Structure 1
Amino acid sequence: MRNGKGQERKASPSFFTGEKWLVLTGLLGFLLAAICGVWVILYGGPVFPKGDVLKAFSFNAALGVFLLSTAAILPFTALGNKSRALFRWSYIVLALYSYAAETVQNFRGVDPRFVKGGMPFDVWVGSIFTFVALLLILFYLFVAVQYFRPKAYRLRPELIVGIRYAMLAVLLSFAAGVWISFNNGRLVGLHGSIIWLHGLGFHALQVVPFIAWLSERTALTHSARKAFIHLAGTAYLVSLVAVGWQTYLGHPVLEWSVLPVLAFVSLLISLAPGIVLLRRQSDQTVPAGKAIL
């Protein structure tokens, strides 16, 4: 395959290529979430004294989505087989521990993150959980950096630009997770909640790369495709900054004020390119990664 300048380019990998076990680990999160969901329906969420199965439900589902999204884009890092295997199996082990700690401890009536006055076993589980969370961040930083290398960009230019924006958003989510830990909880001030920033940032992994993938399938010029992706990615990051600042001020995200309105409008703007590109899907669709210049 040749790029727009006539230079040879290697065949691009496909989504999820070689990531069967990471995919299965992500699907395990949905299975655990389903079990927790049935429990909540039958018996309610709270478990005396500090557990909450509803939290385990949301955690398992969120981690499952995160792992599946990561498995989808991991083939485009241009990492070697050994480096990818190291990341893959490290993340699988860390994810399995996270599933176990979050699910089992909440069913036992223990908050796995903030253990106060618990048994030595619970303290150890919580301490290891904190260390595991740190490793999850560090390993992901290693992968995130790979998408900013020229080698990755040459594989799928538009898609990699979208993934780069997603990586920046994920880093903001990780920062929010660290904030929760140092804050000893998700609440800030009277009404602020860090969980909004923490969750919204991870969803960039689905939104921006999807828009980039759609752009590849149109007959637009390379510059036009990148313009759509930059608009989506920039607007998404602006929405995260607005949510984070509103939270820092201790105000709720769902209130009628400047920052929440800015976050909402920016989020809509980030989705708009996807809607436009979907409407452009027609007989003019071109193979992924081939630009018309």
Structure 2
Amino acid sequence: MKAEIGKRNHSSTAFFEGEKWLVITGLLGFCLAAVCGVWVMMHGAQVLPKGDVLKAFSFNAALGMFLLSTAAIMPLSALGSNSRAVFRWTYITLALYSYAAETVQNFRGVDPRFVKGGTPFDIWVGSIFTFVALLLVLFYLFAAISFFRRRAYQLRPELVVGIRYAMLAVILSFAAGIWISFNAGRYVGMHGNIIWLHGLGFHALQVVPLIAWLCERTRQLTAVRKRLIHVTGIAYLMGLLAVGWQTYLGLPVLTLSVLPILASICFLVTVAAGIWLLWQWKDRTPIILEQTND
């Protein structure tokens, strides 16, 4: 028997590397959310006739978090510098318009997504907003595909596998957003609310890659680490599918029935994996010992 030390280079490709402006754009979302939050505390959320500053608050914070999460993983996409620049500046431009439309229009008393009885200006803003949302989806799909290439996998194999699962979850989230648009609102049937699927899908960008990142830093065997990443990713996707089906049936997500319970179990598997990895995390230096027979 002999011990082999697994060598993995975690510093060659760093989070956020080269994405300063995407990070700044993400932080801008939190700043705008803070402004909206202060306004809501002082004046309330509703702005007649159709504005809701609380919606602007949640949108800006969610988009900001989405951009920060994207900025963190983009260096691992293995896209060329030109392709990354195209994605970066396109996304920054689209995000700035989205911030402006959501915030300004709600303060003006207009729902920026579903304009009813507004001025021609409001209709134009809403129409462009719909087009911008479509572009956000298409350009993100362009970036997502790059994570499924061998070149990206070779940079940080375990972390990229986690990101791949997150990308699949984000696609489900985008599908939920399109569903909201075609449905002309977030509510389905008597009690279904598409926003649950929409939001939980995007949070996979923080959850699943974090699990993979922790796996890189444990002393577990490679097979154990890979299996745990797959279990976590599959569990998260299964939870999303259960939430989506419950919503499609027009039923509430927060209820004691089969699909919500199944979704809760799936998400608890993800949480349990994270807790177990934190417990296993000895230090920040990844030294993996594997036993092999001569």
TM-score range, shorter chain: over 0.9
AA partner of residue 203 (structure 1): H
Within 1, Cα distance between the matches of 2:85 and 2:278? 35
Within 1, Cα distance between the matches of 2:62 and 2:18? 22
AA partner of residue 244 (structure 2): G
Q: Does structure 2 conserve the Cα–Cα contact (< 8 Å) formed by 1:169 and 1:201?
A: yes
Within 1, Cα distance between the matches of 2:276 and 2:182? 41
What corresponds to 2:210 in structure 1? 210
What corresponds to 2:266 in structure 1? 266
What corresponds to 2:245 in structure 1? 245
Q: Does structure 1 conserve the Cα–Cα contact (< 8 Å) formed by 2:239 and 2:262?
A: yes
Aligned to 1:42, the other structure's residue is in SS state: helix
Within 1, Cα distance between the matches of 2:228 and 2:6? 24
Q: Give me the TM-score of the superposition, normalised by structure 1.
A: 0.95
Give the superposed CA RMSD. Answer: 1.9
AA partner of residue 257 (structure 1): S
AA partner of residue 105 (structure 1): Q
Within 2, Cα distance between the matches of 1:161 and 1:143? 15
The change in CA–CA distance for 1:260 and 1:292 in structure 2 (over 3 A counts) is same
What corresponds to 1:57 in structure 2? 57
AA partner of residue 120 (structure 1): P
Deviation at 1:271, TM superposition (A): 1.6
Within 2, Cα distance between the matches of 1:98 and 1:169? 22
What corresponds to 1:219 in structure 2? 219
Within 1, Cα distance between the matches of 2:5 and 2:117? 65
Deviation at 1:10, TM superposition (A): 10
Within 1, Cα distance between the matches of 2:214 and 2:8? 23
AA partner of residue 82 (structure 1): N
What corresponds to 1:191 in structure 2? 191
Q: Does structure 2 conserve the Cα–Cα contact (< 8 Å) formed by 1:102 and 1:112?
A: yes
AA partner of residue 85 (structure 2): A
What corresponds to 2:126 in structure 1? 126
Q: Give me the TM-score of the superposition, normalised by structure 2.
A: 0.94
Q: Which has the higher contact order (CA 8 A, sep 6+)?
A: 2
The change in CA–CA distance for 1:162 and 1:291 in structure 2 (over 3 A counts) is farther
The change in CA–CA distance for 1:105 and 1:292 in structure 2 (over 3 A counts) is farther
The change in CA–CA distance for 1:264 and 1:281 in structure 2 (over 3 A counts) is same
What corresponds to 1:85 in structure 2? 85
Aligned to 2:16, the other structure's residue is in SS state: coil
Runs of 4+ with deviation above 4 angstroms: 4-11, 290-293
- Unaligned ranges ≥5, structure 1: none
Within 2, Cα distance between the matches of 1:8 and 1:227? 18
Q: Does structure 2 conserve the Cα–Cα contact (< 8 Å) formed by 1:137 and 1:174?
A: yes
The change in CA–CA distance for 1:195 and 1:283 in structure 2 (over 3 A counts) is closer
Within 2, Cα distance between the matches of 1:35 and 1:283? 39
2:171 aligned with 1:166 = no
Write out aligned runs for 1:1-293 (5 A).
Answer: 12-283=12-283, 285-286=285-286, 292=290
Q: How many residues align?
A: 288
The change in CA–CA distance for 1:259 and 1:84 in structure 2 (over 3 A counts) is same
Aligned to 2:41, the other structure's residue is in SS state: helix
The change in CA–CA distance for 1:30 and 1:195 in structure 2 (over 3 A counts) is same
The change in CA–CA distance for 1:114 and 1:224 in structure 2 (over 3 A counts) is same
Aligned to 1:256, the other structure's residue is in SS state: coil
- Unaligned ranges ≥5, structure 2: none
